[in-house]
Chains A and B, each alone.
Chain A
């Protein structure tokens, strides 16, 4: 497991505002990392520094162990709202992008064509980008980011401007790229983060407040909650009224929040077994990433 990219105390200050504050993380080759956090938490600033658009005020970015490397050679970048020259066709733009990234001009046309077909723009190769819809622009944005086969793909909210169908298609494309590229993407659509993440980076007010694998973060912030399905609403009501734990109920379901999972769980099961109530099912509910997001975002 080698880190292809590493940031050390990455900091960006605008006047008196600290947009990103001492952020350190590493990206392991061939993994996907989701950068999440509320609006204004510094996600785009962090990506912009990695993409070479912004000069860090302090801190360091190293690529494959090489410090202060110009990583523009190794990245593909997709901004949240990619803008193209409206007078260029999709093929011309993708070809130019490939050549500017250092690809041999003999291969650019064929590679650009293949990439555009891969992102679903095979029919629009020779259409001017000025006539493109939002979804087509996002696909072209992805094409220009991957055409030169970069080692690292940086994506700023790659699907947030898309409708559900477009979102699904782009997510599938990204998943298929995962095998060959290291992906770092910011998102506030947490379903996507759950779907395609080896590592989570949680930014809040410019600081990296949580970092780890999805399961680590989930375990850390998960609070034990059990759902009991009763035979009747009356049984659920009776249980809620009598039980010594924090219980809420809704129709035939009772929800038990525990402070201390293991010993208490045994007690709950013992209580239920001896209660004489009609019980159909007991299941543990895990917190969604969205619930964890809310918890971390609210922490001060």
Chain B
């Protein structure tokens, strides 16, 4: 784990100076805030800007607190994933392309430290952003829709955090393997497309990292099937370790592709 601290400091400084530690949490907080607010004030919003005929009658469903939090997660599952993938798909590949990686690769670094420094910083930013967003949505949901059990919320957010860590690992590993554009495309396919496939055909299997988000929401309305849930967690953690190993190997193999 040689040089991990130095590389971690470099990554942290970089993400501070390009303001990613600011704007990425703000995006997640924005969705966390907007979901309960728009759900609550939807009738008034429609009345004010809907341009509806005077005698139109709308019967809007009554949202439960759990549904509002799930809806926030639904936003994260698309917009949040886009932000994480597009924000970080170039983390390793860009350093190869523009040649800034060269002066790092010629030093006696370990590629495990190199990969982990990026994974840790991006993972921290992603998890802090998601938690800030979810805490915001929790606060406003309780204010406007009613109580959400604290233990249920933490079980939900904890499970969702494992999914987020899985997504971050995919993005960093793809960046180690492919050029930025391809890394972003493959990451989006793995995160978004596989999720759709899993929801369409997933009735045939119950253990999958792509099911974690669904299992997370089940904590809010009851609890997921324990066997399926824990096995999915285990499989996801194994997949994360596998992706880290793959990413470290690719970082080393592709170091020779850096612009000299």
Cross-chain contact A144 with B103 (CB below 8 angstroms)? yes
Q: Bits for B26-44, please: 1 = Cβ < 8 Å to A, else 0.
A: 0000000000000000000
Chain B binder among A80-88, A196-204, A251-259 = A80-88
Within 8 Å by CB of A48, from B13, B109, B260, lies B260
Name B259's closest neighbour in chain A (CB-CB): A83
In the assembled complex, A75 has its CB within 8 A of some CB on chain B: yes
* Residues of chain B from 93 to 119 with CB closer than 8 A to chain A in the complex: 98-100, 102-109
A84 to chain B, nearest CB (A): 7
In the assembled complex, B147 has its CB within 8 A of some CB on chain A: no
Name A70's closest neighbour in chain B (CB-CB): B108
Taking each of B7, B105, B107, B258, which has the highest tally of chain A beta carbons within 10 Å of its own beta carbon? Answer: B107
A88-B106 Cα distance, complex, nearest whole Å? 19
Cross-chain contact B18 with A97 (CB below 8 angstroms)? no
A92-B6 Cα distance, complex, nearest whole Å? 11
Name A81's closest neighbour in chain B (CB-CB): B99
Chain B residues with CB below 8 A from A83, complex form: 98-100, 102-103, 259
In the assembled complex, B47 has its CB within 8 A of some CB on chain A: no
Name B6's closest neighbour in chain A (CB-CB): A99
Interface size range on A against B? 20 to 34
Cross-chain contact B107 with A72 (CB below 8 angstroms)? yes
A127 to chain B, nearest CB (A): 14
Cross-chain contact A85 with B100 (CB below 8 angstroms)? yes
B153 to chain A, nearest CB (A): 37
Within 8 Å by CB of A96, from B6, B106, B255, B258, lies B6
Cross-chain contact B3 with A100 (CB below 8 angstroms)? yes
Within 8 Å by CB of A99, from B3, B106, B255, lies B3
* Residues of chain B from 155 to 199 with CB closer than 8 A to chain A in the complex: none
Cross-chain contact B108 with A72 (CB below 8 angstroms)? yes
Within 8 Å by CB of B260, from A79, A100, A141, lies A79
* Residues of chain B from 56 to 111 with CB closer than 8 A to chain A in the complex: 98-100, 102-109
Within 8 Å by CB of A87, from B17, B104, B255, lies B17
Cross-chain contact B17 with A156 (CB below 8 angstroms)? no
A51-B103 Cα distance, complex, nearest whole Å? 10
Name B7's closest neighbour in chain A (CB-CB): A100
Within 8 Å by CB of B100, from A51, A70, A84, A100, lies A84
In the assembled complex, B223 has its CB within 8 A of some CB on chain A: no
Cross-chain contact B14 with A87 (CB below 8 angstroms)? yes
How many of chain B's residues have a CB under 8 angstroms from any CB in A?
25
B3 to chain A, nearest CB (A): 5
Taking each of A54, A77, A85, A88, which has the highest tally of chain B beta carbons within 10 Å of its own beta carbon? Answer: A85
A53-B256 Cα distance, complex, nearest whole Å? 5
Cross-chain contact B256 with A54 (CB below 8 angstroms)? yes
A75-B103 Cα distance, complex, nearest whole Å? 12
Name B109's closest neighbour in chain A (CB-CB): A100
B257 to chain A, nearest CB (A): 9
B210 to chain A, nearest CB (A): 35
> Known pairs A53-B105, A53-B256. 10 more at Cβ < 8 A?
A48-B256, A53-B102, A73-B108, A75-B106, A79-B260, A80-B260, A83-B99, A83-B259, A97-B103, A102-B108
Chain A residues with CB below 8 A from B9, complex form: 96
If the complex has contacts A83-B98, A87-B14, A87-B18, are A100 and B104 also in contact, measured as CB distance less than 8 A? yes
If the complex has contacts A75-B106, A87-B14, are A53 and B100 also in contact, measured as CB distance less than 8 A? no
Chain B residues with CB below 8 A from A156, complex form: 260
Name A75's closest neighbour in chain B (CB-CB): B106
Nearest 3 Cβ contacts at the A-B interface: A83-B99, A100-B107, A87-B17
A-B contacts, 20 of them at CB < 8 A, read A44-B260, A52-B106, A72-B108, A79-B102, A81-B99, A82-B102, A82-B103, A83-B98, A83-B100, A83-B103, A83-B259, A84-B103, A85-B10, A87-B17, A99-B6, A100-B6, A100-B7, A100-B107, A100-B108, A100-B109
In the assembled complex, A113 has its CB within 8 A of some CB on chain B: no
Chain B residues with CB below 8 A from A44, complex form: 260
